[in-house]
Chains A and B, each alone.
Chain A
Amino acid sequence: MPRPLHPVSPGTRTVLGVSFFVLFVAFWAWITLGGHVNHIFLADPLSMLKDGWRLLVEDRFWLDILITIWRVFGGFVLASIVAVPIGIAMGAWKPVEAFLEPFVSFARYLPASAFIPLLILWAGIGELEKLLVIFVGSVFQIILIVAVKVGSTRRDLVEAAYTLGATDNGIVKRVIMPANAPEIAETLRLVLGWAWTYVIVAELIGSSSGIGYMIINSQSRLATGQIIFGIIVIGLIGLLSDFAFKALNRWLFPWSLA
């Protein structure tokens, strides 16, 4: 056994990481191609790829993918624009926190998916409703996490800035905001991951496009290969956007990693 907390070399890390994927797919292939489960309930990896290819080429599934991506980013950007300033205000000014924190803490436990029927009543089944589901699911989470991060800004940095002549306004703009910017960006990256789950739920109900729509549509036709392909596509896009976000953060905040 390796020693606790002992690091592994990058090469070993890659090998170990890839080997789980290999094992996973091998197990999947074994139970499906080996006839251990009924192919009606679980497609094998090969027919999944075949179904996926047909979806992309014949059914223009890439349009659904683009629509889903647009919904996630649209709702997410909307939520961020609203939530980050409120979170900063709550963290920086305690009366604002006292005013909003109890409500936001309550609201963040409201499940976004439970709002879908209500949002359909209000906004119909168009794009606005999809964006609102993601918005509702993300906005309170972002507010709360940002408020906590900002509230725990290093006091000695704030004090140092005061002794250098910073005004209260200067403290917020030129100490609190830059000091927490990397953590806020990290929070957004995390919440973006959650937004991916909300969008699929939104598309499962009252939708005529998107990855979630394809999945629910495939269910009625017992096309499990397509369903699995859709799920994998979501996973891949999530992974890619995560990488992109990480790279962006590294580029924006070189000082926090130096």
Chain B
Amino acid sequence: MSKLLIEGVSRTFAGVRGGQPVQALQPIDLSVAANDFITILGPSGCGKSTLLRIVAGLEAPSTGRVLLDSKAVTRPGPDRGMVFQSYTLFPWLTVAENIGFGLRERGMAQKERDGIVASYLDLVGLRGFENHWPKQLSGGMQQRTAIARALANDPEILLLDEPFGALDNQTRGLMQELLLGIWERRKKTVLFVTHDIEEAIFMASRVIVMSARPGRIKSDVAVDLPHPRHYTLKTSPEFSAIKAQLTEDIRVEAMRTVQTQSA
């Protein structure tokens, strides 16, 4: 049985000022197995973030439904942890308080929280920064905190919306290894949205390629590269083969996006 089931989910935005309604997503069906790491790859504006937001419950689908453990998603909840592209740490809370936010909302006692928070601080390598304000952290450290904050809630599924999109290339590579390392050790169902082909392959057990707007699933590629994965994998022939195939897929879609925008 699948962990997450997306059934005929589409999204149409109402037209602006009497204009034509815009379809962002064509009906999408997707089944995600437990502990799978799925990356959703697509050109910008293809609706991949919209799809993720619908799974999170932050937006309602125009048609179809999302089932998590056979329960329909109607609103956001702690069973679907999310990491955003923008830095969304609460600036008035310290790193430790940010990580413990979800636990506190659940009503967990301070003592119990402290232990869990400490373990997640270690997990993302931020021990020693627990009393820093988010403003005092680099972008990479902020996103590590955001990952720890989402994981500390022990969600059924982790949703990531281009979490490393604003980071420089070197930091981004390190963050990929960190997140993948956590997943390899802890196992979690993950939905990871990105427009970076290398990132999509490196992280995933399965890459979903989306078409240009209105988005639909164009291809569904299993990545059977062995774990644990090391960054050198990115230069291996097997990796390059998948990359070549996906680059071709994405290129066609990106071209279509550019053409529709200039038309």
Indicate if A162 sits at the interface (CB-CB under 8 A): yes
Indicate if A157 sits at the interface (CB-CB under 8 A): yes
Indicate if A10 sits at the interface (CB-CB under 8 A): no
Contacting B at CB under 8 A, from A165-196, are 165-167, 170, 174-175, 178-179, 181
| Partner among B76, B91, B92, B149 whose Cβ is within 8 Å of the Cβ of A159 | B76
Q: What CA separation (Å) do A121 and B136 show in the bound complex?
A: 56
Indicate if B106 sits at the interface (CB-CB under 8 A): yes
The reply to whether B58 and A161 form a contact with Cβ atoms under 8 Å apart is no
Interface of A is mostly: helix
When C-beta atoms are compared, the residue in chain B nearest to A160 turns out to be B88
The reply to whether A258 and B135 form a contact with Cβ atoms under 8 Å apart is yes
Indicate if B102 sits at the interface (CB-CB under 8 A): yes
Q: What CA separation (Å) do A258 and B56 show in the bound complex?
A: 32
Indicate if B202 sits at the interface (CB-CB under 8 A): no
| Partner among A157, A163, A258 whose Cβ is within 8 Å of the Cβ of B58 | A163
| Partner among B90, B102, B105 whose Cβ is within 8 Å of the Cβ of A178 | B90
* Segment at the B interface, from A95-103, A198-206, A249-257: A249-257
Indicate if A156 sits at the interface (CB-CB under 8 A): yes
* Interface size grouping (class) on chain A: 20 to 34
What does the 1/0 interface line of A220-258 toward B look like (CB < 8 Å)? 000000000000000000000000000000000111101
Indicate if A15 sits at the interface (CB-CB under 8 A): no
What does the 1/0 interface line of B105-139 toward A look like (CB < 8 Å)? 11000000000000000000000000001111000
Contacting A at CB under 8 A, from B117-176, are 133-136, 146, 149-150, 153, 159
Known: A159-B76, A160-B82, A258-B136. A166 touches B88 (CB 8 A): no
Q: What CA separation (Å) do A178 and B93 show in the bound complex?
A: 9
Q: Taking each of B84, B90, B93, which has the highest tally of chain A beta carbons within 10 Å of its own beta carbon?
A: B90
When C-beta atoms are compared, the residue in chain A nearest to B91 turns out to be A255
The reply to whether A159 and B133 form a contact with Cβ atoms under 8 Å apart is no
Q: What CA separation (Å) do A21 and B103 show in the bound complex?
A: 56
| Partner among A156, A164, A256 whose Cβ is within 8 Å of the Cβ of B102 | A164
The reply to whether B82 and A175 form a contact with Cβ atoms under 8 Å apart is no
Q: What CA separation (Å) do A70 and B104 show in the bound complex?
A: 41
Indicate if B240 sits at the interface (CB-CB under 8 A): no
The reply to whether B105 and A165 form a contact with Cβ atoms under 8 Å apart is yes
* Complex interface: chain A residues within 8 A of B57 (CB): 162-163
* Complex interface: chain A residues within 8 A of B149 (CB): 164
Q: What CA separation (Å) do A167 and B88 show in the bound complex?
A: 18
The reply to whether B153 and A164 form a contact with Cβ atoms under 8 Å apart is yes
Q: What CA separation (Å) do A162 and B101 show in the bound complex?
A: 11
Indicate if B81 sits at the interface (CB-CB under 8 A): yes
The reply to whether A178 and B58 form a contact with Cβ atoms under 8 Å apart is no
The reply to whether A181 and B58 form a contact with Cβ atoms under 8 Å apart is no
When C-beta atoms are compared, the residue in chain A nearest to B79 turns out to be A165
| Partner among A163, A178, A256 whose Cβ is within 8 Å of the Cβ of B76 | A163
Q: What CA separation (Å) do A178 and B102 show in the bound complex?
A: 16
Known: A174-B105, A258-B136. A164 touches B150 (CB 8 A): yes
The reply to whether A258 and B133 form a contact with Cβ atoms under 8 Å apart is yes
* Residues of A participating in the B interface, judged by any CB pair closer than 8 Å: 156-157, 159-167, 170, 174-175, 178-179, 181, 253-256, 258
Minimum-distance CB pairs A-B, first 4: A165-B78, A164-B102, A162-B76, A163-B82
A-B contact pairs, 6 of them (CB 8 A): A159-B88, A162-B75, A163-B78, A165-B105, A179-B91, A181-B92
Extra pairs beyond A160-B146, A163-B78 (10, CB < 8 Å): A161-B90, A162-B76, A162-B77, A163-B150, A164-B81, A164-B105, A164-B150, A174-B101, A255-B133, A256-B91
* Residues of B participating in the A interface, judged by any CB pair closer than 8 Å: 56-58, 75-78, 80-82, 84, 86, 88, 90-93, 101-102, 104-106, 133-136, 146, 149-150, 153, 159
